[in-house]
Amino acid sequence: MKLPLSWLRDYVDVDLPPAEFAARVTDAIAEVEGWEVIGEHWDPELVRVAEVLAVDPHPNADRLVLATVNVGEGPRTVVCGAPNVAAGQKVAFATEGAMLVDGHTGKRSKLKLRAIRGVDSAGMVLSEKELGLSDDHEGILVLPGDCAIGASLVDAIGDVVFDVSTWANRADLLGILGFAREVAAVTGQPLREPDLGYAESGRPASDFVSVTIEAPDLCRRFTAGIVEGVEVGPSPPWMQQRLARAGMRPINNVVDVTNYVMLETGQPLHAFDYELVRGAEIRPRRARPGERLTTLDEVERDLDPEMLMICDGEGPVAVAGIMGGGNSEVSESTSTVLLEVANFHPGSIRRTSTQLRLRSEASLRFEKGIGPDLAPYAQARALHLLEQVAGGRPAAGLVDVFPTPLPSPRITLTAARIEQVLGIAIDPAEVRRILTALGFEVTGDDAAYEVTPPYWRPDVALPDDVVEELIRVHGYERLPTTVLRGALPAAQPRPLERVRERVRSLAAGLGFQEVISYTLTSDDILGRVVAADDQDRARPIAVANPVASQHTFLRTSLRGSLLTAYAGNRHHEDAAMRLFEVGVEYLPTEADLPHERPVVCAVLGGQRLERWERPGPERLDFFDAKGAVEAILDDLGVEGSFEPGEEYALLSGHTAAVSVGDEAVGVVAQVHPEVAAAFDIEEPVFLLELWFEPLTRAIPERPDYAPPSRYPEARRDLALLVPAATPASALLEVIRTHRARGVRISADVFDEYRGEGVPAGRKSLALALRFRAEDRTLGERDVVRLEQGLLRRLEQDLGATLRA
Partner 1 sequence: MSTIEAEVDALRAEALEALAHADGEAEREAWRADWLGRRDGRLTLRLRALKDAPPEQRAALGQSLNQLKATLEGELEARREAARAGEIAALSADAALDVTLPGRPQSSGRLHPVTQTMHDCIDAFAEMGFRVFEGPEVEWARYNFDAVRIPEDHPARDMWDTIWIDTLFDGERQMLLRTHTSPNQIRVMEQTDPPVRVIVPGKCYRQEATDATHEWMLTQIEGLAVDEGVRMSDLKGTLYAFARRLFGEDRRIIFHHSYFPFVEPGVEMAIDCFLCRADGSDCRTCHGTGWIEILGAGMVHPEIIENAGYDSSKYTGFAFGVGIERVAMLRWGIEDIRHFYQNDLRFLRQF
By the rule CB under 8 A, 510 interacts with partner 1? yes
Residue choice 467, 526, 625, 685 for contact with partner 1 (CB under 8 A): 467
Query: Please, are residues 434 and 441 in contact by the beta-carbon 8 Å criterion?
Result: no
Instruction: Provide the greatest CA pair distance for the chain.
Output: 132
As to burial, measured by CB atoms within 10 angstroms (0-12 exposed, 13-18 middle, 19+ buried), residue 629 is buried
Distance between CA atoms of 595 and 283, rounded to whole angstroms?
53
What's the closest the beta carbon of residue 402 comes to partner 1, in angstroms?
A: 23
What is the 3 state secondary structure string of 595-654? EEEEEEEEEEECEEECCCCCEEEEECCHHHHHHHHHHHHHHCCCCCEEEECCCCCEEEEE
Nearest approach, Cβ of 543 to partner 1 (angstroms)? Answer: 5
Residue 468 or 647: which CB sits closer to partner 1?
468
Residue 348 sits in the site that holds partner 1 (CB under 8 A): yes
Task: Provide the 8-state DSSP code for 321.
Answer: T
Q: Does 509 bind partner 1 (CB under 8 A)?
A: yes
Cβ proximity to partner 1: between 103 and 527 the closer is 527
> Is 286 an interacting residue with respect to partner 1 (CB under 8 A)?
no
CB of 672 to partner 1, least distance (A): 22
Cα dihedral across residues 437, 438, 439, 444: positive or negative: negative
The CB-of-48 to partner 1 minimum distance in angstroms stands at 32
Which residues, 351 to 410, sit near partner 1 by CB under 8 A? Answer: 351, 364, 367-368
The residue (of 419 and 751) whose beta carbon lies closer to partner 1 is 419
Residues 601-620 binding partner 1 (CB under 8 A) are 609-613
Q: What is the DSSP string of 222-261?
A: EEEEEEES---SPPPHHHHHHHHHTT-----HHHHHHHHH
Q: How many CB atoms lie within 10 A of CB 368?
A: 22
Q: Which residue stretch of 57-65, 345-353, 647-655, 719-727 sits at the interface with partner 1 (rule: CB under 8 A)?
A: 345-353
Instruction: In whole angstroms, give the CA distance from residue 509 to residue 421.
Output: 46
By the rule CB under 8 A, 169 interacts with partner 1: yes
Report in angstroms how near the CB of residue 591 gets to partner 1 at its nearest. Answer: 7
155, with CB counted inside 10 A (0-12, 13-18, 19+), is middle
Which of the residues 542 through 581 are near partner 1 (CB under 8 A)?
Answer: 542-547, 551, 554, 564-565, 568-569, 572-573, 576-580
* Beta carbon of residue 663, minimum distance to partner 1 (angstroms, whole number): 22
CB of 487 vs partner 1, minimal distance in Å: 6
Nearer to partner 1, 159 or 585 (CB): 585
| Distance, CA of 785 to CA of 714 (rounded, Å) | 13
Q: Does 586 bind partner 1 (CB under 8 A)?
A: yes
By the rule CB under 8 A, 105 interacts with partner 1:
no
What's the min distance (Å) between Cβ of 68 and partner 1?
45
Q: What is the 3-state secondary structure (H, E, C) of 377-429?
A: HHHHHHHHHHHHHCCCEEEECCEEECCCCCCCCCEEEEHHHHHHHHCCCCCHH
Q: Of the candidates 262, 267, 378, 363, which has an alpha carbon nearest to the alpha carbon of residue 318?
A: 363
CA distance 372 to 404: 10
Q: Is 590 a binder of partner 1 (CB under 8 A)?
A: no
Nearest to 366 by CA among 381, 351, 345, 384: 345
State yes or no: residue 518 binds partner 1 (CB under 8 A): yes
Q: Is 31 in the site for partner 1 (CB under 8 A)?
A: yes
By CB under 8 A, name the one of 464, 635, 733, 795 that touches partner 1.
464
Residue 440 CB, shortest distance to partner 1, in Å, is: 16
Count of residues that interact with partner 1, criterion CB under 8 A: 98
AA letter at 541: I
Among 37, 425, 448, 462, binds partner 1 (CB under 8 A): 462
Taking the complex as a whole, how short is the minimal distance between the CB of residue 374 and partner 1, in angstroms? 18
- By CB under 8 A, tell whether 515 contacts partner 1: yes
Judged by CB under 8 A, which of 333, 404, 492, 549 binds partner 1? 492
Of 590 and 780, nearer to partner 1 (C-beta) is 590
Q: Per rule CB under 8 A, is residue 412 in the interface with partner 1?
A: no
Residue type, 290: G
Task: Give the separation between CA 198 and CA 208, rounded to whole angstroms.
Answer: 19
Stretch that binds partner 1, among 101-109, 401-409, 490-498, 756-764 (CB under 8 A): 490-498
Tell me the C-alpha distance between 439 and 689, whole Å: 64
Rule CB under 8 A: say whether 457 interacts with partner 1.
no
Task: Find the binding residues for partner 1 in span 676-715 (CB under 8 A).
Answer: none
Closer residue to partner 1 in complex, CB, 12/579: 579
Separation of alpha carbons 203 and 92, rounded Å: 44
Report whether 529 contacts 559 (CB < 8 A): yes
